[in-house]
Structure 1
Amino acid sequence: MTATMERKAATTAMPGDLMTTGQRARLIIVLGSLIAIGPLTIDMYLPALPALTAEFATTAAAVQLTLTGTLAGLAAGQLLIGPLSDVVGRRIPLLAGTAVHVLASILCVFAPNVGTLGALRVLQGLGAAAAAVVAMAVVRDLFTGLPAARILSRLMLVMGAAPVLAPTLGSALLSRTDWRGVFAALAVFGVILILMTAFGLPETLPRERRRPATPASVLRAYAGLLRDRVYVGLALTTGLMMAAIFGYVAGSSFVMQGDFGLSEQEFGLAFGGGAVGMIIATQLNVRLLRWWTPSQILVTALLGGLTAGVLLVVLSVLEVGGLAGVLAPLWLVLAAAGLAFPNAPALALSRHGEAAGTAAALLGAGQFGIGALAAPAVGLLGSDALAMAAVIAGSLAAATLVLLTLARPWQLTETVPADAAVAVH
């Protein structure tokens, strides 16, 4: 997209610009709930991973593959559902996908072994993919540029808090039930989402903007996205940042419960504490966008996160600081992610409003597909603090390299609000 086209897009009124404050608030609640189902599906059973390992008499790496299966389902599902939502609209794929998630969650309750659970987790991820990709596409249907980044910052409050609060919720459930009760709770949440979507989310893609329903058109749309160097760079950057987060997700229960002896409930509290930094960062991003562009914030956040990741590796190698020496740099990584995550997708999606569903699908598939590699990597490296730290720091280093070499954020033309220009000068 040329600078002239970007300036024109920035000045063209979007449907979301006409929404009242109350309407935007209701939209954020619905979209935030939709976005939450993915992280909740991934993370709520984390405190039970050691118990699952014992119950099924298997290895930590095998149990971590059930996490990988969910991420793979989320990645593959988005590649299918994104283009479909560009053809038939947003509501039908969303309702159908969420129904699949509910069915898979119910079946997980009765899984007899780790292999069956892993397969059902793939199906569960496929269903949750609908909520993830449609929520992002709806934002692009209604907003672009800085308004989109601000809306995504609000949604990242959910996206950021859900992965780190989900184990806390899981721990609370596990104090009254076992891991099967966690999946029953996910089924109930899926039913609630179906009702919220049916009554609270109107169709945001009018018929005149829908794309032709042919395999060739889908392939052309994906080919067009893959030819956009900047979009590919931003998508890979987002995926590698997600890999860092899932390195933390996959290893934290074994590190905190195994190495440091925390109970399931203590682990939930320690894990949930990371939500504080991420929540503050996502909401601080809204303020920072008044003075800085999304690309400036993205670069700064990545460099800060990489510094924290390297510190985590050093402390793990030296085995100093104890639990605090692990948690402090981890929380700094999460805070950096809270600043980075709203801006990278906003920059990527702003380039392809004509195929928002497909663009959101490829973006989400990259996030969860690359993230899926992090979980078994931690297990193969030993599931200890150093293994977790190595995956986190390595992912952030790769994300920074990709951002600087492919996306080249200093070349992006972005619109800064008038009040920001006054504030800067």
Structure 2
Amino acid sequence: MNLRILLILGALSAFGPLAIDFYLPSFPTLARAFATDVEHVQLSLAAYFAGLAIGQLAYGPMADRYGRRRPLLFGVVLFTLASLGCALAPNLEWLIAARFVQALGGCAGMVISRAVVRDLCDPLASAKVFSQLMLVMGLAPILAPLAGGVLLDVFGWQSIFFCLALFSALVGAGLAAWLPETLSDTQPRAPLRGSLGRYAALLRDREFIACGLAGGVAMAGMFAYIAGSPFVFIELYGVPAEHYGWLFGSNAAGFILAAQVNARLLRYRGPGFWLRRIVWVFFLSGVVLLGLALARPAQLWPLLIPLFIAIASLGCILPNASACAMAHQGAQAGSASALMGSLQFCVAAGASSLVGVLHDGSAVPMAAVITLCGGLATLLAWYSGQVSRTA
């Protein structure tokens, strides 16, 4: 896979992280602007996750029927328009609705980029490409909160969404100019009317479900961190909004580093082997984090160590889970990618909402949800090993 295609796929995959991480420092500001509290502002994050979960189910069959390019272009245009709608939101309800539509556009890149990788690569090469995409995607969690904090301080929260609109417009131009159609003309095009049947068959595929949900539940732990960290860092421990990005970015750097280590580990054993082992790192670091959160330390730094390890381990878990789930999907790669993404973000939406529901003025809700996700991911990864055909 050439560098130009890899960068385009990375940018498309970054729509989700950017749309989430860019505006995290603005949560307290949005709460004041709309005369509400941070817990209600978190509903805009849950709405985005819900949009990702629903929208992906539509893009998968479209990508298998009409190819990869046309659905991608539609999604990018929709994301751009919805980002402008977010910037112009007069109230929280408008913002929540616009975020939902924004997700419907943004999920096109997340679904179809995985299908493009499956079109061009075998399972082992796919795991390596997914790890490389984590490097491109990982820049978003590092740069987005930093840039978001600066934009918030200088230009106000609306500028964050204007920048998202500009970014998506530029990516759309690059997509139109440089990304070829990767669905082969000789490959049968799956009709739309059979999409429900394909989803039903995929739901009966135990290996696909186990691997997809193992990655999805682990990802849900990351989104519990995303939902809870603005309160924990900024409100509970007094980290300035403009410095929030440095802490958030350090965890993202660990994620990137682990993804690159994963690409090298794959020289020795397959993605399934590493998935079933590294998921334990995520779970055990969550247990340590929960224990420290229950002790309610006076300073933030004790929480940062296990949190860093937990988020970094996802750089290995997520690409391996995706590669294992997609390994045997062939002509229905678009539908498989869509269903996997939808299931993952349904779980993520629940995890981020649960952090808000359990809110008690401490770091315990965030830590508890991360630990729960780690335990479930470990069980699913173990089960995937019982039915796996990918070593």
Q: Which residue of 1 aligns with 2:186?
A: 208
- 2:103 is aligned to 125
Q: Indicate the SS of the match to 2:300.
A: helix
Pair 1:313-2:290 in alignment? yes
Match of 2:35, SS state, is coil
CA-CA distance at 1:124 after TM superposition: 0.1
1:335 to 303, 307, 312: 312
Separation of aligned partners in 2, 1:252 and 1:237: 23
Matches within 5 A, 1:347-366: 347-366=324-343
- The two structures have a TM-score, normalised by structure 1, of 0.89
The correspondence of residues 132-171 of structure 1 with structure 2, limited to 5 A, is 132-171=110-149
What is the alpha-carbon distance in structure 2 between the residues aligned to residue 180 and residue 74 of structure 1? 22
**Cα distance per residue 1:166-215 (max 9 Å; x no partner):** 21221122232111100000000010111110011000002332434332
Paired with 1:397 and 1:233, the residues of 2 have a C-alpha distance of: 14
Contact 2:28–2:37, Cα closer than 8 Å, also in 1: no
Contact 1:161 1:278 in 2 (8 A): no
1:351 alignment partner, SS class: coil
Matches for 1:65-84 after TM superposition, within 5 Å: 65-84=43-62
| Aligned counterpart in structure 2 of residue 402 of structure 1, from 380, 383, 386 | 380
User: How far has the Cα of 1:55 moved from its partner?
Assistant: 1.3
Spell out structure 1 runs of 4+ moving beyond 4 A: none
Distance 1:384 1:129 in 2: 32
Q: CA deviation at 1:410?
A: 5.2
| Residue of structure 2 in register with 1:5 after alignment | none
| Residue 413 (str. 1) matches residue 389 (str. 2) | yes
Gaps of 5+ in 1: 1-22, 416-425
> Which amino acid counterpart does residue 414 of structure 1 have in structure 2?
T
1:42 to partner: Cα distance: 1.4
Native 8 Å contact 1:101 1:126 kept in 2: yes
Aligned residues: 390
Following superposition of structure 1 onto structure 2, how do residues 84-95 of structure 1 map, counting pairs within 5 Å?
84-95=62-73
Task: Give identity over the alignment, percent.
Answer: 42
Partners in 2 of 1:108 and 1:201 — Cα distance? 28
Cα deviation 1:140-179 (Å, max 9, x = unaligned): 0111211111011100113344235421221122232111
Deviations 1:306-331 (A, max 9, x none): 01000000001112372111111111
Q: Structure 1 pair 93/320, CA: closer, same or farther in 2 (3 Å)?
A: same
Q: Cα distance 1:205–1:60, how it changes in 2: closer, same or farther (>3 A)?
A: same
Asked if the contact 1:161–1:275 (Cα under 8 Å) also holds between the matched residues in 2, the reply is yes
The residue number in structure 1 matching 2:322 is 345
In structure 2, give the amino acid aligned to 1:186: L
Q: Deviations over 1:268-308 (max 9, x none)?
A: 11111112211110000111011122112111211001010
Q: State the alpha-carbon separation in 1 of the partners of residues 353 and 39 from structure 2.
A: 6
The amino acid of 2:31's aligned partner reads T
The residue that corresponds to 1:264 in the other structure is 241
CA distance in 2, matches of 1:48, 1:285: 33
TM-aligned CA distance change 1:380 to 1:96, over 3 Å: same
Q: Pick from 237, 240, 244: which aligns with 2:214?
A: 237
Match of 2:4 among 22, 26, 50: 26
Assess, with a 3 A threshold, how the Cα gap between structure 1 residues 367 and 161 changes in structure 2: closer, same or farther: farther
Structure 2 unaligned blocks of 5 or more: none
- With 344-353 and 318-327 compared, the bigger mean Cα shift is at 318-327
**Aligned partners of 2:75 and 2:104 also within 8 Å:** yes
Partner of residue 358, structure 2: 381
Tell whether the 8 Å contact from 2:28 to 2:38 is kept in structure 1 after alignment: yes
Distance 2:254 2:278 in 1: 13
Task: Give the TM-score of the pair, scaled to structure 2.
Answer: 0.97
